[in-house]
Amino acid sequence: MAKIGLYFGSFNPVHIGHIAIAGYMTEFAGLEQVWFVVSPQNPLKKKETLLADHNRLHMTRLAIGDNDRLKASDIEFKLPVPSFTIDTLAYLKEKYSDNQFCLVMGEDNLYTLHKWKNSEELVKKHPIYVYPRPDSEIPASPLLDQILSVAQIHHVNAPLMDISGTFIRNGIKNGKDMSYFLSPAVWKYIKEMHFYEK
């Protein structure tokens, strides 16, 4: 049974921090693969800040290149919106029954689990691999405490990656060279398509 880490996000754009975290999970945390699950357009987000689904998926594929331990997944594009992690996992488990699916998330996301749909059921069935995020604070929530008490959490000592999509988008908008934070293929595509310039 292959142990697959699911790394959910908008990847707007996917950057070297994302790739480094995924690589760390396969090399040091015991995951055989990490799948980047690109989240579909959120109706609550402004369209000008979030690129179309297919553009973000394409950038993720460009960033991964021929690394067979990483994979870009469009699975949530096929599911009802809004997509809930528990529903995505149920679909994947049915489709790929030979795999064990785990969650890969930043410490900041871990502390929002009490807001997720059916989170207690989710954490009992799927281990969570957590990487450190600066300034993560645990909110005072008895519900969160209960969820965390039954979760299978693996804290992974990955390097701190304080890079965000917002930082990159703002840099591009302000005419900065943000190539240092992106894979060359992704940077080339962003420049060709004039993404994030306005």
**pLDDT tens string for the chain (198 positions)?**
899 999 999 999 999 999 999 999 999 999 999 999 999 966 555 666 789 999 999 999 999 999 999 999 999 999 998 889 999 999 999 999 999 999 999 999 999 999 999 999 999 999 999 999 888 889 999 999 999 999 999 999 999 888 999 999 999 999 999 999 999 999 999 999 999 998
Taking each helix axis from N to C terminus, what angle separates 53-64 and 184-193, rounded to the nearest 10 degrees? Answer: 150
The amino acid at 88: T
Residue corresponding to tokens 């594009």? 77
CB 40 within 8 A of CB 10: no
CB 37 within 8 A of CB 7: yes
User: Angle CA(195)–CA(10)–CA(129) in degrees, nearest 5?
Assistant: 140
DSSP β-bridge partners for residue 84:
none
Pseudo-torsion of CA 53, 54, 57, 58, nearest 10°?
Answer: -150
CATH number of 2-163: 3.40.50.620
The DSSP code for 140 is -
Domain parsing of the chain, residue ranges: 2-163
What are the two backbone dihedrals, phi and then psi, of residue 103, each rounded to the nearest 5 degrees?
Answer: -100, 140
Q: Give the SS3 label for residue 51.
A: coil
Instruction: Give the tens place of pLDDT for each residue, 105-157.
Output: 999 999 999 999 999 999 999 999 999 988 888 999 999 999 999 999 999 99
**Cα–Cα distance measured from residue 159 to residue 178, given in angstroms and rounded to the nearest whole number:** 21
Segment holding 102, helix H or strand E = strand 99-106
Residue corresponding to tokens 């987000």? 45
